[in-house]
Structure 1
């Protein structure tokens, strides 16, 4: 097996990012356009780094009191 095929993707589409965050694609689009969700533009395509999505979730985690 090719090692590249076995590694999870580091860049996700908007649909995959929405699934990762358990929100709608529209919500991901809004977060992206508001500048709250970092993204990568490759030509006309928009991709999201898994590490950026994880950091986004971590930054919004509410600590129990």
Structure 2
């Protein structure tokens, strides 16, 4: 008695399968530790199935597309730390933080770090020099 392999019905093949963390690491070409770090920081989402975490291939594709776009944006408009922003504006770090708290400067948070776009600093500098304070 011989058994023949039956090819799966294309209507029943999942186009967006769940991957284990190990499979996700291989798919992204990163280490297993990096996959868990990305999940911890919320860069990629995982679905819990019982006690196990699984990653959708579409979610991994979304992440890789997002990082490519972010790299392109950053090349044209770099993100600066608060000390770098203070140097760029020729003011003290404390003044940059005060502008952040007063919502004069829009900041971005990337993995817990506060960063400012150089274009945002240029806009702020243009606003403040366009209307000098009379004394």
Q: 1:59 to 1:23 in 2, by over 3 A?
A: same
Q: Does residue 14 of the first structure (1) align with residue 21 of the second (2)?
A: yes
Question: How far apart are 1:7 and its partner, in Å?
Answer: 5.6
Cα distance between partner residues in 1 of 2:16 and 2:34: 22
Matched, 1:51 2:62: no
Q: Shift in Å at residue 11 of structure 1?
A: 0.5
Query: RCO higher in 1 or 2 (8 Å CA, sep ≥ 6)?
Result: 1
1:26, CA displacement in angstroms? 0.4
Q: CA RMSD in A?
A: 2.0
**2: CA distance between counterparts of 1:35 and 1:7?**
25
Distance in 2 separating the partners of 1:13 and 1:36: 16
Structure 1 stretches of at least 4 aligned residues deviating more than 4 Å after TM superposition: 6-9
Equivalent residue pairs, number:
64
Q: Larger Cα Rg: Structure 1 or Structure 2?
A: 2
**Counterpart Cα distance in 2 of 1:38 and 1:59:** 13
Higher helix share: 2
The answer to whether the 8 A contact 2:16-2:58 is kept is no
